[in-house]
Amino acid sequence: MLSIVVLISGTGSNLRALLEASADAEYPARVIAVGADREAPGLAHAEEFGIPSFTVPFSSYDSREAWGAALLEQIRVWNPDLVVLSGLMRLLPPNVVEALTPNIINTHPAYLPEFPGAHGVRDAIRAGVEQTGASIIVVDNGVDQGPIIVQERIPVLPGDTEHELHERIKPVERRLLVQTVLDIANGLDLGALSTRRLPATIKE
Ligand code: GRF
């Protein structure tokens, strides 16, 4: 059974999808704890499912490094096989990423490497593209630059607001996340993805 700690900042709809999937005895992964960097509304999902949670408020620490060290300490209490960043709206400091990678994945509401960063949905609308997407990646020390595990295209419709487009992306993110966790539980090697390098030049 793959054990997971999920980290959130917001409404936790991706978290809820994992909690619902875990409720199926045949799903080979379990959320064992949920962490947040603030009093996130999504922590209510953990409570509803009887899953322990912890909050490490970013605002209580002097530096990103100090906050990250406290967060890592909490994560280590649970010794999970996998950490899922699911709407955690904070950049993890390098020492935390290095301690957890490649067993740390992130969901992103765009077709990476297009539109990385905190405003992937807004940036896609502003760029006027006809399609964006959803991606699940391994977290490394870049901003949304880790190896892509899976991604799917989603059309941008004429007149879409950021909220409307995000609401169409999120169900795809949830499906991809639940499938990715299943694949990892079934042996998908995140380490092999992490070390994958494309050749610098392709010779004809
Ligand atoms: C998701 O779109 C995630 O990719 C982004 O923030 C959203 C979180 O949604 N970083 P939720 O908190 O899981 O509902």
- Domains identified in the chain, total number: 2
User: Are 157 and 121 in the same domain?
Assistant: yes
The answer to whether residue 177 scores a pLDDT higher than 90 is yes
Q: Is 7 in the pocket of ligand 1 (CB under 6 A)?
A: no
Which three-class secondary structure state does DSSP give residue 145? coil
Contacts of 114 (CB under 8 A, 6+ apart): 124, 129, 132, 133
Q: Is 116 in the pocket of ligand 1 (CB under 6 A)?
A: no
User: Are 94 and 132 in the same domain?
Assistant: no
CA of 14 to the centre of ligand 1 (A): 7
The answer to whether residue 129 scores a pLDDT higher than 50 is yes
pLDDT at 141: 87
Residue nearest to atom 3 of ligand 1 (CA): 87
- Give all strands of the β-sheet with 131-138 in edge-to-edge order: 53-55, 29-36, 2-8, 82-85, 104-108, 131-138, 148-155
Among the candidates 72, 100, 128, a domain finishes at 100
Among the candidates 100, 119, 147, a domain finishes at 100
Please answer whether residues 127 and 162 qualify as being in contact, where contact means their C-beta atoms are separated by less than 8 angstroms: no
Percentage of residues of the chain with pLDDT beyond 90 = 90
Among the candidates 80, 100, 120, a domain finishes at 100
Task: Residue 6: give the domain boundaries.
Answer: 1-100
Q: Is 8 in the pocket of ligand 1 (CB under 6 A)?
A: yes
Q: Is 119 in the pocket of ligand 1 (CB under 6 A)?
A: no
pTM across the whole model? 0.93
SS3 sequence of 46-66: HHHCCCCEEECCHHHCCCHHH
Q: Is 170 in the pocket of ligand 1 (CB under 6 A)?
A: yes
Which three-class secondary structure state does DSSP give residue 127? helix
Residue nearest to atom 6 of ligand 1 (CA): 87
User: Are 3 and 94 in the same domain?
Assistant: yes
Q: What is the mean pLDDT of the chain?
A: 94
User: Are 75 and 20 in the same domain?
Assistant: yes
Residue nearest to atom 8 of ligand 1 (CA): 87
The preferred substitution site among 13, 154, 177 for testing ligand 1, maximizing ligand atoms within 8 Å of CB, is 13
Percentage of residues of the chain with pLDDT beyond 70 = 95
Q: Is 180 in the pocket of ligand 1 (CB under 6 A)?
A: no
Residue nearest to atom 7 of ligand 1 (CA): 87
CA of 87 to the centre of ligand 1 (A): 4
Residue nearest to atom 2 of ligand 1 (CA): 109
Residues identified as active-site = 108
**Closest C-alpha among 106, 160, 90 to residue 132:** 160
pLDDT digits (tens, 9 = 90+) for 7-22: 999 999 999 999 999 9
User: Are 114 and 136 in the same domain?
Assistant: yes
Residue 184, both tokens: 């990892």
**Closest C-alpha among 73, 167, 150 to residue 111:** 150
E strand or H helix at 181, and its extent? helix 162-185
pLDDT at 143: 85
User: Are 32 and 61 in the same domain?
Assistant: yes
CA dist 181 and 165 (Å) reads 25
pLDDT digits (tens, 9 = 90+) for 41-54: 999 999 999 999 99
Bigger pLDDT: 198 vs 192: 192
